[in-house]
């Protein structure tokens, strides 16, 4: 930060002037806000140990020029070394590398040893950890050739810091990351030849298999590509395909956040639930590009660095431009300031810079990450030195003039024809499945809570009046139908005390809340940061309320359901994942309402009043009914409001209409027609007063069949089961 005379070095001058202008208290607040914003940018929404420092680590143009040349040479060398070790193995045959160093290394994947090079470089992404030594020269502390850590953080940190700390960026002369990022995206799209590009992360259910799931999610969002899990892929015809709502789509490029050892359980024999069967075969056949190729982490081993001085001239004909670090970085690395509350602390600095191969040469990102080294860490190898938690900052490359100019593709003479877009066509089936069941689970939580709030006070009354006995009997049967009471106890003799004991023992609401929380996490990459924060806050309140008892927590459950519904209605665009969230909600609400009304309306017309009253309350339509009909319960108006009212979002007809619209937009015309028929039947039932149980139970059963068909069509991707009609059976038997 300072030169030998104690004066600020040139790149630090505008930074420290801005720091003085901001002030220590405001800088501390900006640092806290920076960390909140970056964490919100991660769709997993989980707690992370990463901490982001608002002060950058600047590099002069001349320093970066040296680093850029050295990193290009080092990446070229490491790729050549990998190609040799997985190909001719001339370095082993010449005795330049001990065979035990390679063949005894668990990162050496024998099934990727090929007689001819792969169709693409084994090393396409590269990162290096460097320190600046006391003489001003840079030395490489560690190479990253397998999983490239932190690239998502680097691209996201710059974007968020620009809006939160504009004073630091006003001095100018800072090289932008945007042109380099766009070049990388363009290269990936060009090499994919129209196939799908995705960032492969570990499954949320197996987070220990990933290096940094948050980094994977940030990288996918920064590059505008899909974030997928191993379970989203299926092998067909030797290639890998993504299971989407429009079928299996070819995957051409994967940026992996999963260890190469875990990538193909069929050929490695490790952790069978973590990888992608058939991945190695697709890589060898050239139909799948994995960045970086499995086994490329072999040369990350610290034992290799001792042979680099001899191998550089042999493979490149030149000595290494960047030396490998041989000093203790805690003692000899240059230091930089880090924000700690309202003060600044000094810490040894580690730079991590990134490069990628564009098909012709290596491009180096004009920026990266810098980390503070833990000065209190126990002594260990300088190549495996731990990075202090809570010390990640942006690397700036100072350059007043951008050296490159980028232009877009020349305009076409005639605009290409617009293709018909099917909403959510490329949405992974796993994501759609999670959103579908998230909608169903939230509705199930709301309906169960509403039913319990209705039942508990009524079951407390011990009167033997005919109306009260009838209500208790109907409520007990409804509770059993919802799985809140054992079926053998569904009678009018159930007491409120017994219901509370059952709730305390079985904890059904807690189970529903847990399932909702799991699905919110699984579907978090389809929720914006503000949506995810609001939903998680409401869910945490609901979860904490269960510590007292489930009865006291019921209002919080309704509050969470209302928050979730409002967020979905006001913040989500009406395509993609929203269609499946909406479809799940409407299916669950329609099925629950049909089942409940089949129980509540199972009585002669002269004894329908208790069931009508309970139905209006369960549908949360008491106020609407009172305003329209003065609170006088009559079968016709009640049934119209519950079954046929197109303006009542709690009516059965409304659910079927909404369900039909979502299915039509998803191209499921036959299922949409089924929903339309169900809506007509619900409207026609509003004119009936008796014999409603069987038709309503039939509607509920057909809704369950519709749900099964939706799952087969969109999630399991199985063809519809074929059933022979009677005429076909006769013909078959005759033959």
Residue 492: pLDDT band by 50, 70, 90 thresholds?
Answer: low
Q: Taking the CB of residue 600, how many other CB atoms lie within 10 A of it?
A: 26
pLDDT at 524 (0 to 100): 85
Q: Which whole-number Å values give the CA distances from 336 to 163, 192, 368, in the listed order?
A: 23, 41, 15
Antiparallel, parallel or unpaired: β 289-291 and 247-256: parallel
> How far from the centroid of its chain's Cα atoms is residue 596's Cα?
36
3-state secondary structure 35-103: HHHHHHCCCCCCCCCCCEEEEEEEECHHHHHHHHHHHHHHHHHHHHHHHHHCCCCHHHHCCCCCHHHHH
Rg of the Cα atoms in the chain: 32
Task: Convert 118-136 to b/e letters by CB count within 10 Å (16 or more is b).
Answer: bebbbbbbbbbbbbbbeee
Per-residue burial over 429-468, b = 16 or more CB atoms within 10 Å of its CB, e = otherwise: bbbbbbbbbbbbbbbbbbbbbbbbbbbbeebeeeeeeeeb
| Residue 425 vs residue 537, higher pLDDT | 537
Asked if residue 238 belongs to a domain, the reply is: no
As a whole number, mean pLDDT of residues 252-264 equals 88
In a domain, residue 417? The reply is no
pTM: 0.77
Least confident stretch, 159-173, 490-504, 565-579: 490-504
Q: Which pLDDT score is estimated for 383?
A: 47
Domain co-membership, 672 together with 609: yes
In a domain, 367, yes or no: yes
pLDDT in tens, 122-160: 999 999 999 999 888 999 999 999 999 999 999 999 988
Q: Are residues 444 and 377 in the same domain?
A: no
Model pLDDT, residue 3: 78
3-class SS string, 445-495:
HHHHHHHHHHHHHHHHCCCCCHHHHHHHHHHHHHHHHCCCCCHHHCCCCCC
- Reduced to 3 states (helix: H, G, I; strand: E, B; else coil), residue 511 is helix
pLDDT band at 311 (very low <50, low <70, confident <90, very high): very high
Find out whether 242 and 68 touch, Cβ atoms under 8 Å: no
Indicate the pLDDT class of residue 322, thresholds 50, 70 and 90: very high
> Phi and psi (nearest 5°) for 144?
-120, 110
User: Is the same domain home to 364 and 444?
Assistant: no
Domain membership flag for residue 230: no
pLDDT confidence tier of residue 181, bands split at 50, 70 and 90: very high
Q: Among 26-35, 296-305, 311-320, 497-506, which is the least confidently predicted range?
A: 497-506
> Is 379 a residue whose pLDDT tops 60?
no
The pLDDT confidence band at residue 388, using thresholds 50, 70 and 90, is very low
Same domain, 487 and 368: no
> For 63-76, what is the mean pLDDT?
95
Same domain, 435 and 392: no
* pLDDT the model gives residue 386: 43
**603-653 confidence digits (pLDDT tens):** 877 788 888 899 999 999 888 888 888 878 888 899 999 999 999 999 999
- pLDDT of 4 above 50: yes
The predicted pLDDT at position 409 comes to 45
Residues 479, 345 within the same domain: no
Residues 334 and 477 reside in one and the same domain: no
User: For residue 299, is pLDDT > 90?
Assistant: yes
Question: How many angstroms separate the CA atoms of 499 and 476, rounded?
Answer: 9
Reduced 3-state DSSP string for 160-218: HHHHHCHHHHCCCCECCCHHHHHHHHHHHHHHHCCCEEEEECCCCCCHHHECCHHHHHH
Is 284 within the bounds of a domain? no
Q: For residue 370, which of 119, 158, 85 has the smallest C-alpha distance?
A: 158
Contact predicate 149/212, CB 8 Å: yes
Q: Which of 14-18, 179-183, 576-580, 689-693 has the lowest mean pLDDT?
A: 689-693
pLDDT, mean of residues 268-285: 78
Q: Structure tokens of 191?
A: 């090499």
Whole-angstrom distance, CA of residue 733 vs CA of residue 40: 64
Q: How confident is the model at residue 723 (pLDDT cuts 50, 70, 90)?
A: very low
Lowest mean pLDDT of 34-43, 496-505, 547-556, name the range. Answer: 34-43
Least confident window among 440-444, 667-671, 674-678 = 667-671
Q: Is 409 a domain residue?
A: no
Specify which residues 450 forms β-bridges with: none
Which domain-ending residue is among 397, 418, 437? 397
Per-residue model confidence (pLDDT) at position 643: 92
Assess whether pLDDT exceeds 70 at residue 12: yes
Range of the domain at 388: 12-176+295-397
- Does the pLDDT value for residue 69 go beyond 70? yes
Q: Do residue 707 and residue 572 come from a single domain?
A: yes
Query: Could you say which DSSP state residue 322 is in?
Result: S
User: How confident is the model at residue 244, as a pLDDT?
Assistant: 86
Mean pLDDT, rounded, for 52-74: 93
CA 54, CA 28: separation in Å to the nearest integer?
9
d(CA 414, CA 176): 33
Round to whole Å and give the CA distance between 116 and 87.
7
Look at residues 212, 92, 222, 227 and name the one whose alpha carbon lies nearest to residue 159.
222
Residue 535 sits in the same domain as residue 622: yes
What is the arithmetic mean of pLDDT over 199-206?
76
Inside any domain, residue 492: yes
Same domain for 624 and 556: yes
Higher pLDDT, 139 or 408: 139
Q: Which two tokens stand for residue 650?
A: 């709690």
Of 20-34, 400-414, 478-492, which range is least confident?
Answer: 400-414
CB 174 within 8 A of CB 409: no
Which residues does residue 127 pair with via DSSP β-bridges, in sequence order? 144, 354
For residues 129 and 20, membership in a common domain is answered with yes
Taking the C-alpha atoms of residue 639 and residue 633, their distance in angstroms, rounded to an integer, is 10
Average pLDDT of the residues of the chain: 84
Of 220-229, 248-257, 282-291, 494-503, which range is least confident?
494-503
Question: Do 477 and 352 have their domain in common?
Answer: no
pLDDT tens per residue, range 642-654 = 999 999 999 999 9
Q: Would you tell me the crossing angle of helices 550-571 and 577-600 to the nearest 10 degrees?
A: 140
Percent of the chain, pLDDT > 90? Answer: 43
Residue 236 domain flag:
no
Domain count, the chain: 2
For residue 233, pLDDT over 60 is answered with: yes
- Is the pLDDT at 711 greater than 60? The verdict is yes
Over pLDDT 70: what percentage of the chain?
87
pLDDT value at residue 359: 87
| Interval 678-690 mean pLDDT | 88
């Amino acid at each position: 930060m300072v030169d030998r005379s104690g004066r600020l070095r040139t790149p630090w001058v505008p930074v420290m002037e801005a720091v003085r202008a901001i002030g220590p208290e405001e800088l501390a607040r900006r640092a806290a806000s920076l960390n909140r914003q970056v964490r919100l940018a991660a769709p997993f929404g989980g707690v992370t140990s990463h901490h982001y420092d608002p002060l950058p680590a600047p590099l002069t143009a001349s320093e970066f020029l040296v680093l850029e040349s050295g990193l290009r040479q080092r990446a070229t060398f490491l790729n050549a070394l990998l190609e040799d070790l997985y190909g001719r193995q001339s370095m082993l045959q010449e005795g330049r590398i001990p065979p035990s160093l390679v063949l005894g290394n668990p990162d050496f994947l024998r099934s990727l040893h090929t007689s001819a090079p792969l169709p693409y470089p084994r090393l396409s992404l590269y990162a290096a950890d460097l320190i600046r030594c006391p003489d001003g020269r840079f030395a490489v502390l560690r190479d990253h050739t397998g999983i490239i850590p932190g690239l998502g953080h680097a691209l996201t940190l710059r974007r968020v810091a620009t809006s939160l700390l504009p004073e630091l960026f006003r001095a100018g002369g800072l090289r932008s990351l945007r042109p380099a990022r766009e070049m990388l995206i363009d290269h990936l799209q060009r090499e994919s030849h129209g196939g799908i590009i995705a960032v492969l992360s570990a499954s949320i259910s197996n987070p220990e298999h990933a290096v940094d799931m948050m980094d994977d999610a940030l990288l996918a969002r920064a590059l505008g590509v899909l974030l997928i899990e191993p379970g989203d892929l299926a092998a067909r015809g030797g290639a890998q395909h993504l299971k989407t709502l429009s079928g299996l789509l070819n995957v051409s490029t994967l940026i992996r956040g999963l260890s190469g050892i875990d990538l193909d359980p069929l050929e490695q024999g490790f952790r069978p639930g973590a990888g992608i069967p058939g991945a190695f075969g697709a890589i060898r056949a050239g139909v799948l590009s994995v960045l970086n190729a499995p086994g490329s982490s072999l040369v990350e081993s610290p034992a290799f660095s001792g042979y680099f001085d001899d191998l550089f001239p042999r493979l490149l004909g030149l000595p290494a431009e960047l030396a490998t670090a041989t000093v203790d970085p805690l003692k000899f690395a240059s230091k930089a300031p880090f924000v700690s509350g309202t003060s600044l602390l000094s810490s040894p600095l580690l730079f991590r810079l990134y490069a990628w191969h564009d098909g012709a040469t290596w491009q180096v990102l004009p920026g990266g990450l810098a980390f503070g080294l833990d000065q209190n860490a126990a002594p260990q190898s300088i190549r495996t030195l731990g990075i202090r938690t809570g010390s990640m900052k942006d690397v700036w490359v100072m350059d007043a003039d951008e050296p490159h100019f980028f232009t877009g593709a020349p305009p076409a003479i005639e605009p290409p024809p617009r293709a018909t877009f099917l909403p959510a066509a490329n949405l992974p089936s796993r994501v759609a499945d999670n959103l579908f069941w998230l909608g169903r689970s939230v509705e199930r939580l709301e309906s169960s809570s509403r039913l319990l709030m209705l039942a508990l006070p009524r079951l407390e009354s011990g009167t033997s009046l005919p109306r009260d006995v009838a209500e208790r009997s109907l409520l007990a049967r409804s509770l059993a139908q919802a799985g809140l009471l054992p079926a053998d106890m569904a009678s009018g003799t159930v007491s409120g005390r017994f219901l509370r004991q059952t709730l305390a023992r079985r904890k059904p609401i807690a189970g529903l809340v847990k399932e909702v929380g799991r699905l919110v996490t699984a579907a978090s990459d389809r929720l914006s940061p503000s949506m995810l924060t609001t939903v998680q806050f409401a869910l945490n309140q609901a979860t904490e309320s269960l510590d007292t008892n489930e009865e006291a927590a019921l209002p919080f459950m309704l509050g969470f359901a209302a928050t979730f519904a409002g967020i979905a209605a006001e913040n989500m665009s009406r395509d993609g994942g929203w269609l499946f969230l909406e479809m799940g909600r409407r299916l669950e609400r329609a099925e629950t309402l049909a089942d409940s009304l089949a129980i509540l309306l199972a009585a002669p017309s002269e004894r329908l009043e208790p069931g009508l009253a309970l139905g209006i309350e369960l549908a949360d339509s008491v106020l609407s009914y009172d305003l329209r009909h003065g609170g006088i319960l009559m079968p016709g108006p009640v049934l119209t409001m519950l079954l046929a009212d197109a303006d009542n979002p709690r009516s059965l007809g409304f659910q079927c209409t909404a369900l039909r619209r979502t299915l039509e937009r998803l191209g499921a015309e036959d299922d949409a027609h089924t929903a339309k028929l169900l809506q007509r039947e619900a409207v026609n039932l509003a004119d009936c007063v008796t014999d409603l149980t069987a038709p309503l139970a039939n509607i509920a059963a057909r809704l369950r069949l519709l749900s099964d068909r939706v799952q087969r069509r969109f999630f399991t991707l199985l063809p519809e089961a074929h059933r022979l009609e009677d005429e076909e059976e006769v013909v078959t038997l005759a033959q």
